[in-house]
Amino acid sequence: MWTTFFRRCSTAPATSVIYSHRSGAKQKKMSDSFALKTPRGTQDFLDDNVHRKAAIRTIEDIFVDYGGKELDTPVYELTDVLLGKYGGEASKLVYDLVNADGEKCSLRYDLTVPFARYLAMNRITKLRRYQIGKVYRREKPVMTKGRFCEFFQCDFDIAGAGETMLSDAECLKIVDEVVQKLDLGPFTTRVNHRSLLEAVLLHCGVPPEAIMPVCSSIDKLDKEPWKDVSEELRVKKNIPGAVVSQLERFITFEGDNREIIEMYRKEVSNLQVARSISELELLLKYCDAFGIDVSFDPSLARGLDYYTGMIFEATLRGESEGSGSIAAGGRYDSLAHSLTSTTKKPFSVPCVGLSIGIERIFALLHRKLPKPKEITTDVFVASPQKNLLLERISIWNRLRSAGFRAQFERKNNAKLLDQLQFCEANDVKIAVIVGKKEAEEGVVKLRNVATREETIVRDADMIEEIRRKLNDN
């Protein structure tokens, strides 16, 4: 049969041969006995053509329903655009390109900074855009933990001022709809507010310059217990024990949304806290109207520097629990401005967005859904003798022009039994059989693959007859 049985090569290739750091001389030798592979931390995907594509189309359709326009940006940006936008370690992790045309360029690290660059460059004050594309991290890959140097991101963002917290709530609604439509099972969306978190950290005595390092420790609380995080805060980040104890009270406080909000109102009287809390309350109202559940989580921090308001993370519960977040995002009102602050005309636009963990979703669907059929076809054109390839092609061509999903046997000299077995294995409905005798008489044999019943029809009646049989089916 003409289609091939392939193996899904998502993990095998990249781990099969791993180069280690070598001296120049040894590298030369490596390249003599050259081993074919993808670069470290990258992988090939041969798609099963159904789950991934269907999932992406579902997500795209939802994005479009929410007013999203697809934006495609270059895979590399001017290095200056990316520098200093992510904070901490991240800025070291960009791939630089060897200079061309005197411009310093780097592969994009995410899709958010390129979006902000696009908005600022074109001074766009209102846009809903989505983008599904690969991003690059120049770090040591850990394939087993799903840490790659090249991977997909799938983002939807809303730029522009609107009713306070409405766009934020819409982002949560979109995530909810994606998870529902893809049937990923029960999940939890946790939300917090960067400004609230910052105010609370300051209130507890964290010095302003330590806010981001403390956030990145706190962000680990979904994977590590408070004991480990508090030790990291004390030992690695030099936060005094008294401050860490204060933090514990707020960060690990458990309760429903109402209880947490009341705790903050009672414990921290502060304008910044009051404003963030009322934004979160408004968010919860919109979420309620949108019919979605979200949980306020004081420990949610998110690693990136650029968030300024609401932040969120969605994780699956039940059997898929522990597979990490499947969506996350937040508000970043200063990013476009930070890109233009040194230009003649600074530009600013508030933004909020979400990122779907599309690679995780592919992996989940791959595990959950049945392996798709090798081929989907209603009609298959077969022959009992050799040398009838041109006749089969002509018949197939008529079927295809008439709009049928059809295939034909591509081997000139194939056994009829093999062809009929292929039809049965792939749920083909009708086999059109053309032999030497049939070709001479201007007829074809139509075989109902399921019942094995065969009828002879004239060439001229074939299309009509197949249409009738398929409709009866």
Tell me how far, at minimum, the Cβ of 428 lies from a second copy, in Å.
14
| CB neighbourhood size of 305 (10 A) | 20
Q: Is 109 annotated as a binding residue?
A: no
For 258-273, b/e burial (b = at least 16 CB within 10 A) is eebbeebeeebebebb
Q: Is 111 annotated as a binding residue?
A: yes
| C-beta closer to a second copy: residue 48 or 297 | 48
Tell me how far, at minimum, the Cβ of 39 lies from a second copy, in Å.
5
Tell me how far, at minimum, the Cβ of 263 lies from a second copy, in Å.
26
Q: Is 304 annotated as a binding residue?
A: no
* Region class of 374: left (phi > 0), else alpha (psi between -120 and 50), else beta: alpha
Tell me how far, at minimum, the Cβ of 440 lies from a second copy, in Å.
17
| C-beta closer to a second copy: residue 102 or 318 | 102
Cβ–Cβ < 8 Å for 332, 349: no
Q: Is 461 annotated as a binding residue?
A: no
| C-beta closer to a second copy: residue 67 or 207 | 67
Report the alpha-carbon distance of residue 446 to residue 434 in Å, rounded: 9
Chain position carrying tokens 């609604």: 173
**Which residues have a Cβ under 8 Å from the Cβ of 230 and sit 6 or more positions away?**
244, 247, 248
3-state secondary structure 316-331: ECHHHCCCCEEEEEEE
Q: Is 377 annotated as a binding residue?
A: no
Report the alpha-carbon distance of residue 451 to residue 115 in Å, rounded: 57
| C-beta closer to a second copy: residue 102 or 208 | 102
Report the alpha-carbon distance of residue 137 to residue 386 in Å, rounded: 55
First-residue to last-residue Cα distance in the chain? 25
Residue 103 Cα to chain centre, angstroms: 30
Nearest to 308, CA basis, from 199, 423, 434: 199
| C-beta closer to a second copy: residue 390 or 456 | 390
Q: Is 302 annotated as a binding residue?
A: yes
**Which residues have a Cβ under 8 Å from the Cβ of 129 and sit 6 or more positions away?**
68, 69, 70, 71, 115, 118, 156, 157, 159
Torsion of CA 84, 88, 93, 98, to 10 degrees: 30
| C-beta closer to a second copy: residue 134 or 220 | 134
Tell me how far, at minimum, the Cβ of 241 lies from a second copy, in Å.
40
Chain position carrying tokens 């109402």: 258
Q: Are strands 379-382 and 430-433 parallel, antiparallel or unpaired?
A: parallel
Tell me how far, at minimum, the Cβ of 96 lies from a second copy, in Å.
4
Report the alpha-carbon distance of residue 308 to residue 198 in Å, rounded: 10
| C-beta closer to a second copy: residue 7 or 266 | 7
Q: Is 157 annotated as a binding residue?
A: yes
Tell me how far, at minimum, the Cβ of 17 lies from a second copy, in Å.
9
| C-beta closer to a second copy: residue 135 or 201 | 135
Across-strand partners of 193?
Answer: 310
Tell me how far, at minimum, the Cβ of 276 lies from a second copy, in Å.
20
Tell me how far, at minimum, the Cβ of 45 lies from a second copy, in Å.
4
Report the alpha-carbon distance of residue 453 to residue 451 in Å, rounded: 5
Nearest to 457, CA basis, from 472, 449, 385, 448: 448
Q: Is 306 annotated as a binding residue?
A: yes
| C-beta closer to a second copy: residue 52 or 203 | 52
Q: Is 112 annotated as a binding residue?
A: yes
Environment class of residue 102 by beta-carbon count within 10 Å: exposed (0-12), middle (13-18) or buried (19+)? Answer: exposed
| C-beta closer to a second copy: residue 15 or 455 | 15
Tell me how far, at minimum, the Cβ of 407 lies from a second copy, in Å.
8
Annotated binding-site ranges for L-histidine? 110-112, 137, 153, 157, 302, 306-307
